[in-house]
Amino acid sequence: MKKFLSFLLVSLVMNVALAQLQLNGAGATFPYVIYSKWFDEYQKKTGIQFNYQSIGSGGGIKQVIEGTVDFGATDGPMKDEQLAEAKAKQGTDVLHIPTVMGAVVAMYNVPEIGTDLKLTPDVLAEIFLGKITKWNDAKIAASNTGRTLPDKAIVVVHRSDGSGTTYIFVDYLSKVSDEWKSKVGVGTSVNWPIGLGGKGNEGVAGQVKQIEGSIGYVELAYAVMNNLPYASLKNKAGNFVSPSLESVTAAAMNEAKKMPEDLRVSITDAGGKDSYPISGFTWLLVYKDQKDEVKAKAIVNFLRWAFKEGQAFAPGLYYAPLPKEVITLNEKKIASITYKGKPIK
Amino acid sequence: MDVIQGIQTVVSPKIVSRNFGDTVFKYLSQFFAFLILLLIVLMAYEMYASSSLSIQKFGWSFLTSTEWDPVADQYGALPFIYGTLMSSLIALVIAVPIGVGIAIFLVELAPKWLERPFSFIVELLAGIPSIVYGLWGFFVMVPWIRTTVEPFLSRHLGSFPLFEGAPYGVGMLAAGVILSIMILPIISSISRDVLKAVPVSQKEAALALGSTRWEATRIALSYSRSGIIGATILGLGRALGETMAVTMVIGNRPVIKASLFEPGYTMASVLANEFTEATTEMYISALIEIALVLFVVTLLVNTVARLLVWSFTRNADAGGRL
Amino acid sequence: MYGLCILSALIALIPLLLIFYHTISLGVSALNVDFFTKLPKPVGEPGGGLANAIIGTIILVGLGSIVGLPVGVFAGVYLSEFGNNKFATIIRFLTDVLNGVPSIVIGVVAYTIVVLPMKHFSAYAGGFALGILMIPIVTRTTEEMLKTVPNSYREAALALGIPQWKATLRIIIPVALGGIVTGIMLAIARAAGETAPLLFTALNNRFWHTTLDQPIASLTVFIYNYGVSPFEDWIAQAWAGALVLILLILLLSIAVRIVTRQRY
């Protein structure tokens, strides 16, 4: 017993002595692949630890409102009521800072089909509404002439937790399907008509990987890293576009001209012939008026690094770097972060 | 023990304990025991207070509505209550016969030297953490169910609504099976204790009257019926509260379906999945109300079980002395 | 009929053997020195380890013990030495109630009692939740073990003029110590294996924790996060973590058996 206690004491003391600056953040699983890389690189460079837990955008928003984290992350922007609640509870506004862009892809596990299944918006909606239940349905075959589709049941996989990835996905479905809009709607957590629930992008990818015949929606990086094929979608201009850096950037370029001041914008169902229809920004949620000066400086410096050196990591991990116009807007935004009213140097 | 108090009362009934140390000791230990009471009360109060929003808005319909819609802020817990009960029921159907079978094996059949190591092994099953069951369940058991069990059931019993539908692997059946493995130790070890407590005179009397060995065992079983039911209900209590193993294999879908192949959702799983991100006050309140319901249900179940087991062992003692 | 009983005994063995088999075969590949000494790597990069998770679990169980052991042992002493009244019966009943409370519910309560007022996730909150879990096991075992000490010891102490508190602490408890320690070990085994109560109290941490009022890594939460992910090396590390946990539980169970056997 004594030995155990003294060991505990020593490790406690050791840990206090080694007290590195550590900030806690939580939220979206969508950008987790690149965030974990960023935080790892940044820690190697500066020694400052950003402990990020991918619990889902819903979780990120909630913990930011409750003030249990230093920053949050989400791909589904906070609603006005949520911003108001955060302001009431934390005494400050919450800023949305876009960090990268990604694509939400329809990933499937049907070995007979191979890669590059072509789906139209209404077919995608009907699959997730539970109206199309077999892979060899005529509607799917219509856009995939020349392919043999198997007579297998479609197993839909969606998110069981509150998710910005969900938000981007259902935001798109609501734009292209009136039935989806009225029946299910938009949100980080929705009442899914059908399907299994997986936790996080990781959980959905894990389920699709295990279950043959399944289809789920995940961020592009998750599909590529697991060697699972994903569908090309017909965009607003009528072309079948495969998700990629270029097609996501094309979508952003089209919509970024109309960026609102608070940087909360949806770029789904973008116009333009090369745009991938289910693209989205992902944001870091940062308190405008910070309570801790050291942490405030750390956050601002990290963001500045993310906009420059950080962006270089994006393509290798299948995220699209931010357009220059957005970075400029970001720089202005983080200049407005204050510590007790005074701007951070 | 009480002996000392008894002696002290007889010897010096009116004298206050002269030893200050004794008083301190008694009240100190009483204080800690009281903390347990305080803890339970605090837990119940916290949960009730935090779920008041949801209780006020939905009232009893919370327990009967199937609408779980965070977008519209409408919450009904019936799918989760159903999922919890159904998966636990499946677990009992599988685990009780096997558990009682093991108990009979250990008490009646096994050679003396086998009993301890075997019980040790069964108790090891009880010690395996829930998350390890979940991991094994998701990666080993679910594929087996998807490729072997469900197609088999589908082919032979597919016309029953219980076994309709596509084999996902994950779903209510998987949850029930993994739960059954987890509650097996508790059912078998308590049944074994209960069977052991049957007075030898009962069995001897049966054999003397000319019954076969199996019939004597059956008599022992009916004698210990309430104890075994108690064991079953204790197993039920454990199954109701299981979280991690179930979350990983049940499919996480708040629906009520007849088929065991379909996914489901339990009260414990929805808490694990959605608690950290419930963004509105009402959402959190609804989730805490589910925690409250789970708390009350497990409380009732465990109370009934303890009473049954306790009353049985008391009667058995009395019976044995006759 | 008896054949069925033998069959059920065999059936019970199968899952146990399979679990051990799969955990060992799937986990051993990721079980190397790195696993015990390195920190987790970002997504997609192989290697790294779960050193912070292992230490984190130890610290969380330690914190839980600070909460759970005193309450459990003293309450057990009360129930055994002073426990022939209505209050004690109520406490006994409530201890069983506490034992049956699902660990996820305890996590929810710990969130509202510790995390929200503190304004962040912390090792304290996780330790608090685990401590609550440990209390019933320690209380019950302490009471049972103390009750097995023959009354003659108490009577002899009283006859010699030793005050009750001294007799209990210096004589009765040491005799039952082996049994009490087994209760503690069982409680530790349970706490080390819990995941649900840590999900929203200690959260998790990819680095070493800095102070105890910050989120902290734990083996169980890591196993859960890695296990549901689609990344092969993460899944292998999840199995390795599961293997470590099972071995720990196995060691504790064997130790418990040895200690209780020595008493007879």
Of C260 and B154, the one with more pLDDT = B154
**Whose structure tokens read 């935004």?**
A333
A272, HSE (Cβ side, Cα atoms, 13 Å): 20
Higher pLDDT, A39 or A225: A39
Give one word for A47, left, alpha or beta, with left for phi > 0 and alpha for psi -120 to 50. Answer: left
Q: What does the alpha-carbon distance between residue C228 and residue A196 come to, in Å, rounded to a whole number?
A: 14
Handedness of CA C12, C14, C17, C20 (dihedral sign): negative
Average pLDDT of chain A to the nearest whole number = 86
Could you write out the DSSP letters of every residue in C18-66? Answer: HHHHHHHHHHGGG-SHHHHH-PPPPTT------HHHHHHHHHHHHHHHH
DSSP B163: G
* ipTM for the predicted complex: 0.87
Q: Tell whether A62 lies on the interface with B, counting CB pairs under 8 A.
A: yes
- Mean pLDDT, chain C, rounded, equals 86
Q: Do A57 and B277 touch (CB under 8 A)?
A: yes
Nearest CB partner across the interface for B241, out of C102, C158, C192: C102
If you average pLDDT over residues A27-45, what whole number do you get?
Answer: 89
Question: Taking CB atoms and an 8 Å limit, are B277 and A60 in contact across chains?
Answer: yes
Q: Which residues of C touch A19 (CB under 8 A)?
A: 210-211
Q: How many residues does this entry show for chain C?
A: 264
- Give me the pLDDT at residue B7, please: 62
Calculate how close chain A gets to B151, using CA atoms only, in Å.
Answer: 14
The phi, psi pair for A98, rounded to 5°, reads: -65, 140
Please report, as a single letter, which amino acid is at residue A183: K
Query: Would you give the DSSP letter of residue B277?
Result: G
The CATH number that applies at residue C74 is 1.10.3720.10
**In chain C, which residue's Cα lies nearest the Cα of A8?**
C59
pLDDT computed for residue B320 by the predictor: 40
- Is the pLDDT higher at B316 or at A200? A200
Residue A77: which H helix or E strand, with range? Answer: none
Structure tokens at A72: 């949050």
Q: Residue C10 — very low, low, confident or very high, per pLDDT cuts 50/70/90? A: confident
Q: How many residues does chain A have?
A: 345
Q: What stretch of H or E contains A105?
A: strand A94-109
- The DSSP 8-state label assigned to residue A230 in this structure reads B
Cβ proximity of A164 and A30 under 8 Å: yes
A250 in Cβ contact with A77 (< 8 Å):
no
Identify which of B173, B288, B169, B308 has the alpha carbon closest to the alpha carbon of residue B237.
B308
Residue scoring higher pLDDT (A265 or B82): B82
Q: Looking at beta carbons, which residues of chain B come within 8 Å of A82?
A: 279
Q: What is the DSSP letter of A153?
A: B
Q: Judging by DSSP bridges, how do beta strands A279-287 and A94-109 pair with one another?
A: antiparallel
The C-alpha atoms of residue C7 and residue C1 are separated, in whole angstroms, by 10
Chain C nearest-CA residue for A59: C200
Q: Is the pLDDT of residue C34 over 90?
A: no
Give the count of beta carbons closer than 10 Å to the beta carbon of residue C182. Answer: 21
Calculate ∠ Cα A134-B87-A209, nearest 5°.
40
Closest C-alpha to C192, from B270, B239, B247, B131: B131
The three-state secondary structure class of B286 is: helix
Q: Which amino acid is located at C158 in the chain? A: L
Q: What angle do CA B78, B263, A216 make, to 5 degrees?
A: 120
Helix (H) or strand (E) holding A216: strand A214-219
Tell me, yes or no, whether C11 lies in a domain: no
- The strand order across the sheet containing A338-339 reads A289-290, A338-339, A342-343
* Residues constituting chain B: 322
Closest residue in chain C to residue B270, using alpha carbons only: C104
Q: Classify the C-alpha dihedral A222-A225-A231-A237 as positive or negative.
A: positive
Q: Can you list the alpha helix ranges (DSSP code H) found in B142-280?
A: 142-144, 150-157, 172-196, 200-208, 213-223, 225-241, 244-249, 267-274
Q: How far apart are CA A277 and CA A240, in angstroms?
A: 10
Q: What is the pLDDT of residue C105?
A: 93
Q: Which of B277, C211, C108, B271 is nearest to A64 (CA)?
A: B277
DSSP per residue, B63-120? GT---EETTTTEE--HHHHHHHHHHHHHHHHHHHHHHHHHHHIIIIIS-HHHHHHHHH
A197: nearest CB among B67, B70, B251 = B251
Of A4, A8, A69, the CB nearest to C120: A69
Distance, CA of B311 to CA of B306 (rounded, Å): 8
> Residue B246: its pLDDT value, please?
93
Shortest Cα distance, chain C CAs vs residue B21, angstroms: 6
Contact B278 A58 (CB under 8 A): yes
Instruction: For residue A102, give the H/E element and its range.
Output: strand A94-109
- Contact indicator for B135, C238 with CB cutoff of 8 Å: yes
| B contact test, residue of C4, C6, C69, C82 with most B CBs within 10 A | C82
By CB atoms closer than 10 A (0-12, 13-18, 19+), residue A341 is exposed
Calpha distance B205→B223 (Å, rounded): 13
Residues A22, C207: C-beta atoms closer than 8 Å: yes
Residue C90 belongs to some domain of the structure? yes
- Per-residue pLDDT tens for C146-155? 888 888 988 8
Domains with residue ranges and CATH for chain A: 2-101+280-343 (3.40.190.10), 103-258 (3.40.190.10)
Chain A residues near any Cβ of chain C (below 8 Å) = 4, 8, 11-12, 15-16, 18-20, 22, 24, 26, 32-33, 36-37, 39-40, 43, 49, 51-53, 66-69, 198-200, 202-203, 205-206, 209, 222, 225-226, 317
Probe site for chain C from B130, B132, B187, B269 (most C CB atoms < 10 A): B132
CA torsion, points C153, C155, C157, C160, in degrees to nearest 10?
Answer: -140
A192/B contact by beta carbon, under 8 A: yes
Q: Which two tokens mark B39?
A: 């803890």
- Identify the sign of the CA torsion A306, C224, A163, A168: positive
Contacting residues of A for C177, CB less than 8 Å apart: none
Scanning every residue of chain B, which has its alpha carbon at the shortest distance from the alpha carbon of A184?
B71
Domain count, chain C: 1
Rounded CA-CA distance A141/A160 in Å is 30
More confident residue, A38 or B258: A38
Task: Evaluate whether residue C5 is within a structural domain.
Answer: no
- Distance of alpha carbon A186 from alpha carbon A228, whole angstroms: 27
Please answer yes or no on whether C206 and A18 come within 8 Å at the CB atom: no
C-beta of residue C227 within 8 angstroms of C-beta of residue B134: yes
Distance, in Å, from the CA atom of A322 to the CA atom of A308, rounded to the nearest integer, reads 10
3-state helix, strand, coil in chain C (%, to 5): 75, 0, 25
CB atoms within 10 A of CB B81: 20
Q: Measure CA B45 to chain center.
A: 23
Burial C35-54 (b: 16+ CB within 10 A, else e): beeebbbbbbeeebbbbbbb
C196/B135 CB distance under 8 A: no
Nearest residue, CB atoms, B278 vs list A62, A195, A196: A62
Which residue's entry shows tokens 């806690």? A24
Per-residue pLDDT, B319: 47
Tell me which chain B residues have a C-beta less than 8 angstroms from the C-beta of A195: 253
pLDDT, one tens digit for every residue, chain B (322 residues): 566 666 655 554 444 556 788 888 888 888 998 999 999 999 999 999 988 888 888 888 888 888 887 777 788 889 999 999 999 999 999 999 999 988 888 888 878 888 888 888 887 888 889 999 999 999 999 888 888 887 788 788 777 777 877 777 888 999 999 999 999 988 988 888 888 888 888 888 888 888 888 888 888 888 888 888 888 888 898 899 899 999 989 988 888 888 888 888 999 999 988 887 777 778 888 999 999 999 999 988 888 887 877 776 666 555 443 3
Distance from A229 to chain B by nearest Cα, in Å? Answer: 20
Interface test with B, best of C69, C137, C164 (most B CBs within 10 A): C164
Beta-strand pair A279-287/A214-219 = unpaired
Q: Which of C111, C158, C224 sits opposite B244 (nearest CB)?
A: C224
Instruction: Identify all chain A residues contacting C115, using CB atoms and an 8 Å cutoff.
Output: 68
DSSP classification of residue A280: E
How near does any CA of chain C get to the CA of B157, in Å? Answer: 23
Map out the domains of chain B with their CATH numbers.
3-50 (no CATH), 77-321 (1.10.3720.10)
What does DSSP say about strands A155-159 and A196-198: parallel, antiparallel, or unpaired?
A: parallel
Q: Residue B271's closest CA among B249, B286, B251?
A: B286
Asked if A24's CB is within 8 angstroms of C214's CB, the reply is yes
**Range with the poorest average pLDDT among A258-262, A296-300, B3-7, C168-172:** B3-7
Find the range with the poorest average confidence among A9-18, A43-52, B22-31, B34-43: A9-18
Looking at residue B161, what DSSP letter applies? G
Q: Which residues of B touch C225 (CB under 8 A)?
A: none
Of B36, B46, B271, the CB nearest to C75: B36
More confident residue, C256 or A69: A69
- pLDDT for the residue numbered B316: 58
A155 shares contact with chain B (CB less than 8 Å):
yes
Q: How far is C14 from chain A, CA to nearest CA, in Å? A: 24
Sheet containing strand A94-109, strands side by side: A49-54, A22-27, A71-74, A279-287, A94-109, A214-219, A155-159, A196-198
Rounded to whole angstroms, the Cα distance separating C5 from A49 reads: 57
Q: A70 and A217 in contact (C-beta within 8 Å)? A: no
Kindly determine whether residue C43 and residue A32, on different chains, have CB atoms separated by under 8 Å. yes
Structure tokens of B154?
């589908």
Residue C7 in domain: no
Q: Kindly report the nearest CA distance between residue B182 and chain A, in angstroms.
A: 23
Contact C204 A222 (CB under 8 A): no
Compare CB distances from A225 to C44, C207, C215 and report the shortest one's residue. C44
Least confident of A12-16, A126-130, C105-109: A12-16
Kindly provide the b/e burial profile for residues A1-40, where b requires at least 16 CB atoms within 10 angstroms of the residue's own CB: eeeeeeebeeeeeebeeeeeebbbbbbbbbbbbbbbbbbb
pTM here is: 0.84
Closest CA to A183 of A196, A195, A192, A172: A192
Who wins on pLDDT, B287 or A13?
A: B287
For C59, the domain range is 22-39+48-263
Alpha-carbon span B57 to A212, nearest angstrom: 42
In this structure, what are the phi and psi dihedrals at residue A220, rounded to the nearest 5 degrees?
Answer: -50, -45
Return the residue of C nearest to A40 by Cα: C42
Residues 194 to 253 of C: which have CB under 8 A from any B CB? Answer: 194-196, 199-200, 220, 223-224, 227-228, 235, 238-239, 242, 245-246, 249-250, 252-253
Measured between CB atoms, which of C120, C211, C231 is closest to A225? C231
Is residue A168's pLDDT more than 80? Answer: yes
Say whether B244 and C195 touch across the interface (CB within 8 A): yes
Render pLDDT for C118-159 as a digit per residue (tens, 0 to 9): 887 889 999 999 999 999 999 988 998 888 888 898 889 889
CB pairs under 8 A between A and C: 91
